[in-house]
Amino acid sequence: MRQVVLDTETTGLEAKDGHRIIEVGCIEIVGRRITERRLHHYVNPERASDDGAVAVHGLTDEFLADKPKFADIADDLLAFVRDAEVIIHNAPFDLEFLDAELARLGRPPFREHCAAVTDTLKLARELHPGKRNSLDALCERYGVSNSHRTLHGALLDAGLLADVYLAMTRGQDSLTIDIAPGAALGEFGPIDASQLIVLPASGEEVAAHEALLDAIEMEAKGTSIWRGAAVS
């Protein structure tokens, strides 16, 4: 499924108090690869931003005064997310603002314009309960560099979140499973290696394996990691 990572910046914290969207940034992921497709708009909110919000994103009322209104960019945004899974960090916050903007235009809620919405904050809390799961914390945890991020920006944050999301969902990236001595596995208790059933490879399987390694080493012009790690 095509995925779109989305972030917004706003004039304040509460849509119900009349605060508005001032920036939207989207980045496309296809086949777990970030593509070159982007969507980015600054938006004239038709109201002033709170001082605290400006301190976060740095977008002043003067800068936004000549930007298009949300009504002018709505079709572009909805076309970009159509039929995609939309990935948002702390999705309820952004959805509240998006739904309020769409309601002003007589449009259905945001979820009705895309295939699904995934909240990476919810996912992070499930993976790392009791830990900090802000975007900055996740960047640090997954080794995503955010050193260039001095202020929040919708497209910048969407790019960071895309890298974090791919890291969070990549699954097992090692050929080994390391379990601490005595670690319990649910109701079955610790693993007793002496009880594991070992099925040795047949002669034909060994020969096929060696032939494959020969081909890999010929192409790579070096010893494969499997032979290098082999033990008797």
Q: Tell me which residue range forms the domain holding 201.
A: 195-227
Residue carrying structure tokens 């009349």: 18
Q: Are residues 72 and 142 in the same domain?
A: yes
Helices 120-127 and 91-104 pack at an angle, to 10 degrees, of 170
Residue whose C-alpha is closest to residue 152's, from 82, 75, 54 = 54
Alpha helices in the chain, H assignment, sequence order: 51-57, 61-64, 70-81, 91-104, 120-127, 135-142, 154-168, 203-220, 225-228
Q: Using one digit for the tens of pLDDT, what is the confidence trace for 177-203?
A: 444 444 444 444 555 666 667 778 888
Where is the domain boundary, 152, 168, 184?
168
Percent of the chain with pLDDT over 90: 65
Q: Which residues are catalytic?
A: 152
Q: Return the pLDDT at 148.
A: 67
Q: Are residues 214 and 129 in the same domain?
A: no
User: For residues 114 and 84, is the Cβ–Cβ distance under 8 A?
Assistant: yes
Q: Are residues 146 and 204 in the same domain?
A: no
The 3-state DSSP class for residue 189 equals coil
What does the mean pLDDT of the chain come to? 86
Q: Are residues 58 and 104 in the same domain?
A: yes
Distance CA 197, CA 178 (A): 19
Distance CA 124, CA 131 (A): 9
Pairing of strands 21-30, 116-119: unpaired
CATH of the domain at 125: 3.30.420.10
Q: Are residues 118 and 209 in the same domain?
A: no
Statement: residue 106 has pLDDT above 50: yes
Q: Residue 74 corresponds to which tokens in the numbers above?
A: 């709505």
Give how far the C-alpha of residue 126 lies from the chain's centroid of Cα atoms, to the nearest Å: 15
User: For residues 42 and 66, is the Cβ–Cβ distance under 8 A?
Assistant: no
Structural domain count, the chain? 2
What pTM does this model have? 0.72
